[in-house]
Amino acid sequence: MIISQSKSRKVVIVGTGFVGSSYAYALLNQGIVNELVLVDVNLDKAKGEAADLNHGMPFASPMKIRAGGYEECNNADLVVITAGANQAPGESRLDLVSKNAKIFKTIVTNVMESGFKGIFVVATNPVDVLSHVTLEVSGLPKERVIGSGTILDTARFRYLLSEHFQVDSRNVHAYIIGEHGDSELPVWSHVQIGGVPLSRYAKINDVENDEDMKRIFENVRDAAYHIIERKGATYYGIGLGLVRLTKAILHNENSIVTVSTLLEGEYGINDVYLGVPAIVNEYGVREILELQINESEQQKLQKSASILNEMKEKAFS
């Protein structure tokens, strides 16, 4: 019997709470990895999730799923961190900074001590600042430390625009950039419906100040608050967003996704992790796409960057 030695695609998830387990479930459904290891400070939780997921295997694509420790990161392609404290009702993502920065220093050190040679994806909030902490603690090149950034906000934006205009969300091209949080901004100047600029498609002269468009963006920006008020946490959307990113990396797709990455002069911003469209492949972030944003968008992006810069000081202190 010949057993083919196909390349193993191994992902380790650190943190098997709502977000980590939703991501694991979506990975199992889409069958894009061969091996999945669940790590959590609460080992029983990781073991329970692994068993529950494994019991669905006959209905999904074959893959290995188990609970484990940090030694599993040694030959992992991706380590995805979803561990940490969650946003309490009324708490902003930035309020979480000190709590989660401390947790991250331990997690990232443990991962690196395993001899990890892959790519980090960070989803824990505040995701931009914690991606920066991961970069500093790991010592890896910046292209291999990626935050989920505004991947979910961009998806929410495309979805709400698609509902408003009754056009398939896959044909709505739009970006949310900046902080994954209160200072994020929509790039109205580049919204397109199937290649047609929004102003022309919707016959709106001043898109940025249009009441309907303003309401759509507010619903994007405040979506997490609304969901947390109702059900305590958000996790399905980000779970799917993380799978999208995983696929872009492991399948070497060169896809454009709004991830959090280190800006070094792009958009006139330096030494800040924030969400921008970037080309992602098996090496991580290949290239940041520098949109020609207008003056008002540039000002908002600068403001978002300075808020993140202040938070970074808090995380590193």
Q: Which residues are catalytic?
A: 180
174, 197 in Cβ contact below 8 A? no
Shortest distance (Å) from residue 277 CB to ligand NAD: 16
Q: Does 87 bind ligand NAD (CB under 6 A)?
A: yes
Task: Say which DSSP state 6 is in.
Answer: P
Q: Does 103 bind ligand NAD (CB under 6 A)?
A: yes
Rg for the chain (alpha carbons), in Å?
A: 19
CA 210, CA 56: separation in Å to the nearest integer?
Answer: 47
CA 119, CA 69: separation in Å to the nearest integer?
Answer: 18
Choice between 174 and 193, CB closer to ligand NAD: 174
Q: Does 19 bind ligand NAD (CB under 6 A)?
A: yes
Shortest distance (Å) from residue 42 CB to ligand NAD: 4
Q: Does 154 bind ligand NAD (CB under 6 A)?
A: no
Choice between 20 and 193, CB closer to ligand NAD: 20
277, 289 in Cβ contact below 8 A? yes
Q: Determine the length of the chain.
A: 317
Choice between 198 and 273, CB closer to ligand NAD: 273
Intra-chain end-to-end CA distance of the chain, in Å? 58
Shortest distance (Å) from residue 49 CB to ligand NAD: 9
The residue number with the shortest CB distance to ligand NAD is: 17
Piece in contact with ligand NAD (CB under 6 A), picked from 138-146, 234-242, 247-255, 266-274: 234-242
Helix residue spans in the chain (DSSP H): 18-30, 43-54, 97-113, 127-138, 151-165, 198-202, 211-221, 223-231, 236-250, 295-316
Piece in contact with ligand NAD (CB under 6 A), picked from 119-127, 138-146, 155-163, 213-221: 119-127
Binding site for ligand NAD (CB under 6 A): 14-20, 40-42, 45, 82-84, 86-87, 103, 106-107, 123-125, 127, 148, 152, 180, 233-235, 238
